Amino acid sequence: MTERTEALRLTRDGGIALIEMTRPQQRNPLNAELKLALDETLRGLEGDRNLTAVILTGSGGVFSGGGDLKAMAREHATGEYDGAEDYLDRMRHTHGWLRVLRNLPVPVIAAVDGPAAGAGLAMALACDLVLITERAKFSCAFCKVGLVPDVGLFHALPRAVGLQRARELMYTGRTVEAEEALRIGLALEIVPHEQLLTRAQDMARQMEQGSRSAFSLTKDILSRSLDTDAETLLSLEMQAQAILLASRYNQDAVTRFANKEPLRFNFI
């Protein structure tokens, strides 16, 4: 099943949803049309009980060049946005679908081929895992256009690369090539570009092999792990494990294991 707008294509393969940005000639800019398409698509997936994984990617050798600077220039010229309040409303909308992307209760994999700049980098780091090709390039050049990093980068980038490296990347806006991206923690692995989606889909299928409830709770606790003290994490762990130990999924799994029977995945 495939759904498409001019800016985005959604393809379903069983429980796996592939979200593909489809304007590579313009570097898949995060403009008003793409933001609206992402908002509608992600909110449609949010409550889907059949969803098991999401892959976010670009087309034509481009992930996303980030904000649409040409559109910004037009807005300034026409006075379309009148003061900070108008811009705040726009950012609130962006943060709305960003939270959905970040908090989906299933694995979310960014498959990055070519440039991921500014908000493009932010979208990749909002995912659980980042696979890249040898052609991937990252940059965080907001300061060069007189802006601060946005779309969640103040949270995501220091957690990926450490505070000092995040400062350097934000302050200089320099480009990070694939090998360095892997070394400093922006990416999990480098895949030949012609194999990128196959690798992402294979990884998504591997992650289907387990309880959706267990994955959702694991993801939720992990998302708090760098901001939460050890005692609070123990409390969250205790509550989550009590819920899962009482689940039919766990009861079935341990019975099958004890009887040397194949495990049955994702029945609840």
Unique residue bearing structure tokens 């943060």: 95
Confidence of residue 254 (pLDDT cuts 50, 70, 90): confident
Does residue 76 register a pLDDT over 70?
no
Per-residue pLDDT band for 160 (boundaries 50, 70, 90) equals very high
pLDDT of residue 5: 82
pLDDT, position 131: 98
Contact in structure between 74 and 32 (CB atoms under 8 Å) = no
Ordered DSSP codes for 3-63: EE-SSEEEEEETTEEEEEE--GGGT-EE-HHHHHHHHHHHHHHHT-TT--EEEEEESTT-S
pLDDT value at 198 more than 80: yes
Cα separation, 223 vs 240, in Å, equals 14
DSSP 261: P
Ranking 117-131, 168-182, 204-218 by mean pLDDT, the lowest is 204-218
Sheet holding 8-13, edge to edge: 2-4, 8-13, 16-21, 53-58, 108-112, 129-132, 189-190
- Within 8 A by CB and 6+ apart from 84, the residues are none
Identify the pLDDT of residue 135.
97
pLDDT at 144: 86
Give pLDDT, residue 39.
96
**Structural contact between residues 211 and 266, judged by C-beta atoms closer than 8 angstroms:** yes
Structure letter (DSSP) for residue 150: -
**To the nearest whole percent, how much of the chain has pLDDT over 70?**
94
pLDDT band at 169 (very low <50, low <70, confident <90, very high): very high
pLDDT tens digits, one per residue of 16-38: 999 999 998 889 999 989 999 99
Mean pLDDT of 133-146: 93
Residue-wise DSSP of 120-147: HHHHHHTSSEEEE-TT-EEE--GGGGT-
| pLDDT at position 77 | 67
Please, which pLDDT band fits residue 268 given cuts at 50, 70 and 90? very low
Residue-wise pLDDT tens digits, 79-105: 666 677 777 888 899 999 999 999 999
Q: What structural domains and CATH numbers belong to the chain?
A: 2-207 (3.90.226.10), 212-258 (1.10.12)
Average pLDDT, the chain: 91
* Pairing mode, strands 53-58 and 16-21: parallel
CB 131 within 8 A of CB 203: yes
Confidence (pLDDT) at 232? 95
51: left (phi over 0), alpha (psi -120 to 50) or beta: beta
Return d(Cα 22, Cα 34) in angstroms, integer: 9
pLDDT band at 130 (very low <50, low <70, confident <90, very high): very high
Q: What's this model's pTM, rounded to 2 decimal places? A: 0.91
pLDDT over threshold 80, residue 159? yes
Residue 53: exposed, middle, or buried by beta-carbon count in 10 A (0-12, 13-18, 19+)? buried
Taking 80 as the threshold, does the pLDDT of residue 265 lie above it? no
